[in-house]
Structure 1
Amino acid sequence: LAQKLAREYAGGFNKKSPSLVFYSPGNGTGKTTLAAAIANYVLHELWVPVMFAKARDIYLFKCG
Protein backbone atom coordinates (compact mmCIF):
# COMPACT_ATOMS: atom_id res chain seq x y z
CA LEU A 1 0.00 0.00 0.00
CA ALA A 2 2.76 2.46 0.91
CA GLN A 3 4.58 1.87 -2.38
CA LYS A 4 1.36 2.37 -4.35
CA LEU A 5 0.60 5.65 -2.58
CA ALA A 6 4.19 6.83 -3.06
CA ARG A 7 4.01 6.14 -6.80
CA GLU A 8 0.71 8.02 -7.05
CA TYR A 9 2.12 10.99 -5.13
CA ALA A 10 5.31 11.13 -7.23
CA GLY A 11 3.47 10.61 -10.52
CA GLY A 12 1.01 13.42 -9.81
CA PHE A 13 3.54 15.76 -8.24
CA ASN A 14 3.63 19.44 -9.14
CA LYS A 15 5.19 22.47 -7.49
CA LYS A 16 1.97 23.17 -5.60
CA SER A 17 1.74 19.66 -4.16
CA PRO A 18 1.59 19.57 -0.36
CA SER A 19 4.61 18.50 1.65
CA LEU A 20 4.84 14.85 2.55
CA VAL A 21 5.83 13.40 5.91
CA PHE A 22 6.19 9.71 6.72
CA TYR A 23 5.65 8.56 10.28
CA SER A 24 5.91 5.12 11.77
CA PRO A 25 7.11 4.14 15.22
CA GLY A 26 10.40 2.33 15.30
CA ASN A 27 13.26 1.75 12.92
CA GLY A 28 13.45 -0.35 9.80
CA THR A 29 9.98 0.31 8.42
CA GLY A 30 11.18 1.78 5.11
CA LYS A 31 10.27 5.44 5.69
CA THR A 32 13.63 6.79 4.55
CA THR A 33 13.79 4.49 1.53
CA LEU A 34 10.29 5.46 0.42
CA ALA A 35 10.93 9.18 0.92
CA ALA A 36 14.26 8.98 -0.93
CA ALA A 37 12.64 7.20 -3.87
CA ILE A 38 10.00 9.93 -4.18
CA ALA A 39 12.61 12.69 -3.84
CA ASN A 40 14.80 11.02 -6.46
CA TYR A 41 11.91 10.76 -8.93
CA VAL A 42 10.81 14.36 -8.40
CA LEU A 43 14.37 15.66 -8.73
CA HIS A 44 15.54 13.63 -11.72
CA GLU A 45 12.35 13.14 -13.71
CA LEU A 46 10.52 16.40 -13.02
CA TRP A 47 13.55 18.62 -12.39
CA VAL A 48 12.04 20.05 -9.22
CA PRO A 49 14.43 20.79 -6.33
CA VAL A 50 13.72 18.78 -3.21
CA MET A 51 14.64 19.00 0.45
CA PHE A 52 15.28 15.72 2.21
CA ALA A 53 15.74 15.78 5.98
CA LYS A 54 14.99 13.65 8.98
CA ALA A 55 12.61 15.08 11.58
CA ARG A 56 15.38 15.08 14.17
CA ASP A 57 17.51 17.34 11.96
CA ILE A 58 14.66 19.75 11.24
CA TYR A 59 13.87 19.99 14.94
CA LEU A 60 17.51 20.71 15.80
CA PHE A 61 17.70 23.34 13.03
CA LYS A 62 14.52 25.12 14.20
CA CYS A 63 15.32 24.93 17.92
CA GLY A 64 19.00 25.67 17.68
Structure 2
Amino acid sequence: MLARLERAGVELVSITQRFNDDSLEKIMPIMLALFDEYLAVDAGSRIRRAMRANAERTFHNGVV
Protein backbone atom coordinates (compact mmCIF):
# COMPACT_ATOMS: atom_id res chain seq x y z
CA MET A 1 0.00 0.00 0.00
CA LEU A 2 2.75 2.46 0.89
CA ALA A 3 4.61 1.73 -2.35
CA ARG A 4 1.43 2.39 -4.34
CA LEU A 5 0.93 5.72 -2.59
CA GLU A 6 4.57 6.62 -3.14
CA ARG A 7 4.29 5.86 -6.88
CA ALA A 8 1.23 8.11 -6.99
CA GLY A 9 3.32 10.94 -5.54
CA VAL A 10 1.66 10.93 -2.12
CA GLU A 11 3.93 12.21 0.62
CA LEU A 12 3.52 11.86 4.39
CA VAL A 13 3.32 15.22 6.10
CA SER A 14 3.28 15.31 9.88
CA ILE A 15 2.70 18.31 12.08
CA THR A 16 3.90 16.64 15.25
CA GLN A 17 6.89 14.65 13.97
CA ARG A 18 9.90 16.17 12.28
CA PHE A 19 11.81 14.08 9.73
CA ASN A 20 15.45 14.77 8.94
CA ASP A 21 17.20 14.00 5.68
CA ASP A 22 18.79 10.82 6.97
CA SER A 23 18.02 7.11 6.96
CA LEU A 24 15.27 7.54 9.56
CA GLU A 25 13.33 9.61 7.05
CA LYS A 26 12.58 6.45 5.08
CA ILE A 27 11.71 4.15 7.97
CA MET A 28 9.68 6.52 10.17
CA PRO A 29 6.68 6.87 7.81
CA ILE A 30 6.53 3.06 7.58
CA MET A 31 6.65 2.70 11.35
CA LEU A 32 3.98 5.37 11.80
CA ALA A 33 1.73 3.70 9.22
CA LEU A 34 2.12 0.32 10.93
CA PHE A 35 1.32 1.83 14.31
CA ASP A 36 -1.74 3.59 12.87
CA GLU A 37 -2.92 0.30 11.38
CA TYR A 38 -2.44 -1.44 14.73
CA LEU A 39 -4.49 1.24 16.50
CA ALA A 40 -7.27 0.96 13.92
CA VAL A 41 -7.45 -2.83 14.29
CA ASP A 42 -7.37 -2.53 18.09
CA ALA A 43 -10.14 0.09 18.10
CA GLY A 44 -12.26 -2.09 15.80
CA SER A 45 -11.81 -5.03 18.15
CA ARG A 46 -12.85 -2.98 21.17
CA ILE A 47 -15.87 -1.57 19.34
CA ARG A 48 -17.03 -5.04 18.26
CA ARG A 49 -16.59 -6.31 21.83
CA ALA A 50 -18.64 -3.39 23.23
CA MET A 51 -21.36 -3.85 20.62
CA ARG A 52 -21.55 -7.58 21.38
CA ALA A 53 -21.82 -6.83 25.12
CA ASN A 54 -24.59 -4.30 24.42
CA ALA A 55 -26.47 -6.84 22.32
CA GLU A 56 -26.16 -9.47 25.05
CA ARG A 57 -27.69 -6.97 27.49
CA THR A 58 -30.45 -6.29 24.90
CA PHE A 59 -29.28 -2.71 24.34
CA HIS A 60 -29.71 -1.15 20.92
CA ASN A 61 -26.51 -0.90 18.80
CA GLY A 62 -27.36 1.67 16.18
CA VAL A 63 -29.83 4.17 14.86
CA VAL A 64 -33.56 3.70 14.51
TM-score (norm 1): 0.31
Which structure has the greater CA radius of gyration? 2
TM-score (norm 2): 0.31
* More helix, by proportion: 2
